Amino acid sequence: MKEFTGDDLDQIKRVMVDMGNPMTQTIAGRVNQAEMLLQGGLIENADQFLQVISTGRLEPLVHGKQKELMCISEENETLSNGQKCIAVFTDNHAMHIMEHKSVLASPEARKQPERVAVVMEHIQEHVDALKETDPIVLQLLGQQPIMQQIPGQEGSPNQALPSGAVSDQMETATPLDKAAQSVKQPNLPTMPKNPMDEGQG
C-alpha cells in the first residue's frame, strides 16, 4: 500500500471513478458473463458476444432497452397529465401497451375522462401501428404483426368471399371439415307426377 498526504494531492482537480464488476477483470469471468447473457437473450449476435468478452461492458447491450423504458416512463407522466403522446412504428408496441395501461390502474384515474381518453387513444395508436406497419419491418424489430381478418368471415356463412379466399379457406380446413364436404347427399325418391298437370298448358 502507498500512503498519500494532502500536499501530494493538492494538484488534483477531479477524480473519476468507474464502477465495475471484479468478475469482468478476467477473461474467464467475461466469458462466463457473456454465456449467461446469451442464454438470457440479451446478446443477439456474435459481435455483441465478442464485445462482452473483450471489454466486459454491458451498457451497449442494454442502452436501447433502457432508452425505451425511459421513454415509456416519460410518456406515462405525460398521459397522467391528460396530454397526448405520439406513437411511432418503431416502438415496441406490446411493451408500450402493457406499461401505458398502468396509468389507468386505479379507480381515481378512471374518474378523470380526459386522462382515460388520451390513454385509450394512445394505446389505439400502437394497435393501429401493429395492423398497418409493414409486417417485414415488424419482424425485423422482433414484433408480431396483427393479421387483418379476411372480409366475409363475419356475418352470414353464405356471404361471398373475395377471389382466392375460397381456395385459401379449403387449405386451412380441418380434416373433419374436408370429410364432411366429401360426403355425398343421399338420392331422394322422385315424387310422382300428377296426370292432370300434364294435360294443362
Q: Check whether 16 has a pLDDT greater than 60.
A: yes
**Of 44-48, 134-138, 157-161, 197-201, which has the strongest mean pLDDT?**
134-138
Task: Give the count of alpha carbons within 13 A of 57, CB side only.
Answer: 8
Burial of 136 (C-beta count, 10 Å sphere; 0-12/13-18/19+): exposed
The residue behind cell 406497419 is: 133
- pTM (predicted TM-score): 0.50
Cα–chain center distance at 144:
5
| Residue 121 and residue 84 in contact, taking contact as beta carbons nearer than 8 Å | yes
| Residue 46 and residue 34 in contact, taking contact as beta carbons nearer than 8 Å | no
Q: Check residue 111 and give its pLDDT.
A: 92
pLDDT per residue as tens digits for the range 31-76: 887 888 778 777 777 777 777 777 777 776 677 788 898 999 999 9
Sequence-distant (≥ 6) Cβ neighbours of residue 23 within 8 angstroms: 29, 30, 32, 33
pLDDT per residue as tens digits for the range 99-127: 999 999 999 999 999 999 999 999 999 99
The grid coordinates of residue 179 equal 370429410
Closest CA to 114 of 150, 158, 84, 146: 84
pLDDT band at 149; cut points 50, 70, 90: low
Mean pLDDT value across the chain: 76
Q: Check residue 189 and give its pLDDT.
A: 57
